[in-house]
Amino acid sequence: MKKYYVTTPIYYVNDIPHIGHSCTTLVADVLARYHRQLGEEVFFLTGTDEHGQKVAEEAEKAGVAPIEFCDKITPRFKKAWEELNISFDYFIRTTDDRHKKIVQELLQKIYDQGDIYKDKYEGLYCVGCEKFLTESDLVNEKCPLHPAEKTIKQSEENWFFKLSKYVPRLIDLIENEKTNYIFPKGKRSEVLAKLKAGVRDTSISRANVEWGIPVPWDKTQTVYVWVDALINYYSATRFLKNKKDFWPADLHILGKEILWFHTVIWQAMLLSVGISLPEKTYIHSFYIIDGQKMSKSLGNVISPGRLVEKFGVDGARYLVTSSFPTENDADIGISRFVEKYNADLANNLGNLVSRLAKLAEKNKVEIEKSKSVFYPEVKKALEDSDTGRALSFIWTEKLNRLNAKLNKEKPWTLSPEKAKPVLKECIEKLLEAVFNIKPFMPETAEKIKKVFEGKIKTTKVLFPKIEN
Ligand code: MSP
């Protein structure tokens, strides 16, 4: 059986889940469900990133030990994913002892083969990003992603990984062997250009951060949180015994701010120990809320719970996956979501289902089993992780046409003999579309199937209209 292994970033527990995390997780969920519908064996991994300075500082502010803090926040991520009907197979936490052990083993291997050395590092550290910045990263002397926070000058002795040694190999892989490994293409060029401009070795440990995994050969240092976190993708397939064969991952999906860690540092670490590289990394852009960056201080953060409350689970799933920011940032907002919900779900799909159900019941139409195939356009779009394109194809090319066909043929004006074949054809086409919609809106797809398969019975309104 074909296997499919998809991962999301593991989210920092200093924050609670918001729509940004939700879009990555939801797209991964759609892909996992799509591959299950294709009959493949799927492993879908998500989780939380719990070590490091940032989490330690938040815990201190809250006046609790870091692990207590993590134990409190992690369930919120699990709850958010349950609310959004995310079908993850495993939720990993980096504080899990089994993960820690594998991190230490892997680092020890890199060390043993001479790819790690001690050096002094001096630089500006952004706790928000959990990384050292260079002068050229700064905008107005601040980290562009965390302008409200100070960057801290730090100088310490750290363990360094010989990243530069792997740069020629990485360039060759990206250009010649694994030309599909960074997606979309624009991001691939960005990484290549940076690699060719020259890359310095990278620090993989911290001297003054206690909240982390001890470096196996030097207990005075902890493993740098990013190195610990990246290994989660691999460690889960080692300590979960029945997941061994899922490595290498088929897809890592993540936001653009963490592109370098995933497409360069992670891959070089794997090269160093001779573990196969992930098949593909998909990098998406960001959500912007009503033209502004989403941030706690601006108070414009949208939570998954709020979306589900307002639009229902599948409504929320549809709105997020249809506006998924691929190559460019996507400007979203609740009032635009309301408009889209009313147009696409209440008026288009919802109305189509109720019109067809009423007419079919009246004319005693019967439908046998429906066709279960994905449209080639949907397949292609999902191979590109472009959920928005897949949905827009289903709506414009399929559902709109069905609505137009009904309006033109007006089966409600026809005799039962003439109405029946028209309705039958429309319902069969609708059910085919519903099979394609199922990875996005699993509950809705089941409800619609129940309405039409076997004896047709009308149902209550699927998507009640919402006032803006
Ligand atoms: N812990 C690291 C990831 C380690 S993975 C080995 C981290 N965590 S995070 O909590 O900050 O999550 C970052 C991810 O959240 C992004 O890569 C993206 O998937 C998602 N998003 C956060 N804000 C977002 C938007 N405004 N828009 C879209 N996605 C965003 O980085």
Tell how far the Cα of 326 is from the centroid of ligand 1, in angstroms. 14
Q: How many CB atoms lie within 10 A of CB 426?
A: 23
Query: For residues 56 and 343, what is the distance between their CA atoms, to the nearest angstrom?
Result: 46
Atom of ligand 1 at shortest range from CA of 288: 26
In sequence order, which ranges of 14-141 are alpha helices (DSSP H)?
19-37, 53-62, 66-83, 97-112
Which residue from 131, 171, 182, 136 is spatially nearest to 154, judged by alpha carbons?
A: 131
For residue 340 the two structure tokens come to 């889209």
pLDDT at 457: 80
Question: Does 12 sit in the ligand 1 pocket, CB within 6 Å?
Answer: yes
Question: Does 115 sit in the ligand 1 pocket, CB within 6 Å?
Answer: no
Residue with tokens 């609505």: 403
Report the mean per-residue pLDDT for the chain: 95
Tell how far the Cα of 12 is from the centroid of ligand 1, in angstroms. 8
Tell me the best of 6, 15, 21, 149 to mutate to test the pocket of ligand 1, counting ligand atoms within 8 Å of each CB and taking the most. Answer: 21
pLDDT at 169: 98
Closest Cα to atom 12 of ligand 1: 11
10 Å CB burial of residue 251 (0-12, 13-18, 19+) is buried
- Residue 156, helix vs strand vs coil: strand
In sequence order, which ranges of 197-250 are alpha helices (DSSP H)?
225-230, 232-239
Atom of ligand 1 at shortest range from CA of 294: 26
Q: What one-character-per-residue DSSP string does 410-458 give?
A: -GGGS-HHHHHHHHHHHHHHHHHHHHHHTTT-HHHHHHHHHHHSEE---
For residue 286 the two structure tokens come to 């960001």
Instruction: Label residues 85-123 b or e (16+ Cβ within 10 Å = b).
Output: bbebbebbbbbbeebbebbbebbebbbeeebbeeeebeb
Tell me the catalytic residues.
Answer: 18, 21, 126, 129, 143, 146, 293, 296
pLDDT at 134: 84
Query: For residues 111 and 115, what is the distance between their CA atoms, to the nearest angstrom?
Result: 6
Tell how far the Cα of 99 is from the centroid of ligand 1, in angstroms. 21
Say which range, 163-167, 189-193, 222-226, 458-462, has the weakest mean pLDDT.
458-462
Q: Which domains does the chain have, with CATH numbers?
A: 3-284 (3.40.50.620), 334-455 (1.10.730.10)
pLDDT at 136: 83
Tell how far the Cα of 21 is from the centroid of ligand 1, in angstroms. 6
Question: Does 21 sit in the ligand 1 pocket, CB within 6 Å?
Answer: yes
Bigger pLDDT: 54 vs 296: 54
- Residue 115, helix vs strand vs coil: coil
pLDDT at 15: 87
Query: For residues 124 and 155, what is the distance between their CA atoms, to the nearest angstrom?
Result: 9
pLDDT at position 63 over 90: yes
- What are 130-179's pLDDT values in tens digits? 988 888 888 888 898 888 888 888 888 999 999 999 999 999 999 999 98
pLDDT at position 296 over 80: no
- Residue 207, helix vs strand vs coil: coil
Tell me the best of 13, 22, 24 to mutate to test the pocket of ligand 1, counting ligand atoms within 8 Å of each CB and taking the most. Answer: 24
Query: For residues 78 and 93, what is the distance between their CA atoms, to the nearest angstrom?
Result: 11
pLDDT at position 275 over 80: yes
pLDDT at position 333 over 90: yes
What average pLDDT score do residues 115-134 get?
91
Q: What one-character-per-residue DSSP string does 304-331 give?
A: HHHHHHHHHHHHHHHHHHHT--SSS-EE
Question: Does 20 sit in the ligand 1 pocket, CB within 6 Å?
Answer: yes
pLDDT at position 122 over 90: no
- Confidence band for 369, pLDDT divided at 50, 70 and 90: confident
Question: Does 324 sit in the ligand 1 pocket, CB within 6 Å?
Answer: no
Q: What percent of the chain has pLDDT over 70?
A: 100
Atom of ligand 1 at shortest range from CA of 293: 26
Sheet holding 218-223, edge to edge: 205-206, 218-223, 214-215
Tell how far the Cα of 88 is from the centroid of ligand 1, in angstroms. 17
Which residue from 246, 244, 286, 279 is spatially nearest to 263, judged by alpha carbons?
A: 279
Question: Does 229 sit in the ligand 1 pocket, CB within 6 Å?
Answer: yes
What average pLDDT score do residues 441-458 get?
91
Question: Does 73 sit in the ligand 1 pocket, CB within 6 Å?
Answer: no
Query: For residues 277 and 30, what is the distance between their CA atoms, to the nearest angstrom?
Result: 23
Question: Does 254 sit in the ligand 1 pocket, CB within 6 Å?
Answer: yes
Which residue from 393, 262, 284 is spatially nearest to 25, judged by alpha carbons?
A: 284
Tell how far the Cα of 374 is from the centroid of ligand 1, in angstroms. 30
pLDDT at 307: 97
Contact 257, 284 (CB under 8 A): no
Atom of ligand 1 at shortest range from CA of 9: 5
The letter for the amino acid at 173 is: L
Tell how far the Cα of 9 is from the centroid of ligand 1, in angstroms. 7
What average pLDDT score do residues 184-197 get?
96
Q: What is the CA radius of gyration of the chain?
A: 25
Tell how far the Cα of 111 is from the centroid of ligand 1, in angstroms. 29
pLDDT at position 297 over 80: no
Question: Does 255 sit in the ligand 1 pocket, CB within 6 Å?
Answer: yes
pLDDT at 188: 97
Question: Does 26 sit in the ligand 1 pocket, CB within 6 Å?
Answer: no
- What are 301-314's pLDDT values in tens digits? 999 999 999 999 99
Q: What is the phi/psi pair of residue 290, to 5°?
A: 45, 50
Question: Does 77 sit in the ligand 1 pocket, CB within 6 Å?
Answer: no
Which residue from 225, 244, 224 is spatially nearest to 236, judged by alpha carbons?
A: 244
Question: Does 49 sit in the ligand 1 pocket, CB within 6 Å?
Answer: yes
pLDDT at position 77 over 90: yes
Tell me how far CA of residue 148 lies from CA of 14, 142, 255, 287, 296, in angstroms. Answer: 16, 8, 21, 19, 11
Please report how the helices 304-322 and 66-83 are oriented relative to each other, as an axis angle in degrees rounded to 10: 60
184 preceded by cis ω (within 30°)?
yes
Q: What one-character-per-residue DSSP string does 76-90 give?
A: HHHHHHHHTT---SE
Bigger pLDDT: 121 vs 440: 440
Tell how far the Cα of 15 is from the centroid of ligand 1, in angstroms. 10
- Confidence band for 293, pLDDT divided at 50, 70 and 90: confident
Closest Cα to atom 2 of ligand 1: 11
